[in-house]
Amino acid sequence: MVKIYLKYLQFFAGGIFLSLLITSCKKEDTSAPGIGSPVPLATLGLYEVDSSIYKRVFVMISKVGTRNVTYPLVFDTGSAGMTIDAAGILPASMITSNGITVPGDSITVNGITVTPEEAVIAFGNAQNEIQEYGNLAYTTVTVGDRNGNVTTSRIPIFLYYKIVDTQTGKKQPAHSNDVFGVGPGVSFANNAIGSPLSYFRSSAGAISGFKLATFASSGFSANGTYVSGLLTIGLVPGDIASSSGFVMHPLTFSLQGGYSPDVPATISYNGQNIAATILFDTGTPAISIIANNAAPGNISSLPDNTDVTLTTNNGFTYSYTTGSANNLTQVALPSFTGDPRTIFSIDFFTENEFLLDYKDHRIGLKNN
């Protein structure tokens, strides 16, 4: 039985710092396209889950290497790379309290090649951080379940053996923070690890990338609701044409982390206009954080019924009003959080569409 750890909904699976289930018999279309105009590689559903104010969207993983599994992974636009607990995937004899046993240069088991390259991947910020300890591995992954799925080529992933809450120092349950990071660039912990979706290639001419439909506000539930058609893998020319309605934002490159998901913008609230870099993060489950060097304190919440407007440098505009259950927003000093970015939480995705073009390194945003 799959267990989604609702208590971990509050952790930011999205912004990298340093570095259910309901099924039906309906199949989504993942068949191989015929000759003709480019078509997406696959369209899949995701699972929407909530607990109080916290919301998550999960993608189901049904096979890792040759192992049939049923694991929900946080679908995260704020990080790059798939991280998953080694428990239930590797033999228990390989997993110790001090690491994963890898004799020699590598070991292949259950169709998974585990390397001795170790790393620590951290999620969250200086005030709320989770760390995963593990190894670089290579394998195929089946994304989705019987509602519709697609299998990757052999890709790099991160297998962790230990997960720790840095605030308490306590080890957390297995699979409590498995992450499917689909952002651009590569993991800060290991440059070999990138988004699993970036490795898909279509013989039908689709462009490497993905598109998210708006998440269904009514779909979030404590037990998890499967919502079809949310994720389209592979872009077609119409998706990135000027007539599509998407406002495109070119991404910048750095030697550490590759292409950045951050978008330059201005944030307006309470008569203030703040220059910002924005991370649009499905992995932040509840509270958007406006980074403001002139904030009156370390961190404070905007009152209900506060109007906030985002305007990117490329002309995308989105306005919302804060509430007690949705669009919660805090203002924080970057010196306190350790992160200079403004981070928009999953609530943004219930009102806007999102597109990531891996080929030409662009993010597209569209009001719905």
Angstrom distance (rounded) from CA 47 to CA 342: 26
Nearest to 110 by CA among 151, 138, 72: 138
> Residue 204: its pLDDT value, please?
77
Angstrom distance (rounded) from CA 177 to CA 175: 6
Q: In order of start, what are the domains of the chain with their CATH numbers? A: 6-235 (2.40.70.10), 258-367 (2.40.70.10)
Token pair for 81: 């790379």
Q: Which residue has the tokens 């991160």?
A: 158
pTM above 0.75, yes or no: yes
The b-or-e profile of 230-239 (16+ CB within 10 A means b, else e) is bbbbbbbeeb
> Residue 95: its pLDDT value, please?
97
Q: How far is CA 137 from each of CA 39, 59, 158, 190, rounded to the nearest angstrom?
A: 31, 20, 6, 11
Q: Which residue has the tokens 């004899």?
A: 93
> Residue 128: its pLDDT value, please?
80
Nearest to 194 by CA among 113, 60, 64, 82: 82
CA angle centred on 219, ends 218 and 225, rounded to 5°: 160
What is the DSSP secondary-structure string of 50-98? Answer: EETTEEEEEEEEEEETTEEEEEEEEEETTSEEEEEESBTTB-GGGEETT
Angstrom distance (rounded) from CA 205 to CA 250: 22
pLDDT (tens digit, 0 to 9) for every residue of the chain, 368 residues total?
233 444 445 544 444 333 333 233 333 444 444 456 899 999 999 999 998 889 999 999 999 999 999 999 999 999 999 999 999 999 999 999 999 999 999 999 999 999 999 999 999 877 788 999 999 999 999 999 999 999 999 999 999 999 999 989 999 999 999 999 999 998 888 889 999 999 998 777 899 999 999 999 999 999 999 999 999 999 999 999 999 999 999 999 988 889 999 999 999 999 999 999 999 999 999 999 999 999 999 999 999 999 999 999 999 999 999 999 999 999 999 999 999 999 999 999 999 999 999 999 999 999 98
3-state DSSP assignment of residue 129: strand
Q: How far is CA 10 from each of CA 5, 118, 176, rounded to the nearest angstrom?
A: 10, 27, 12
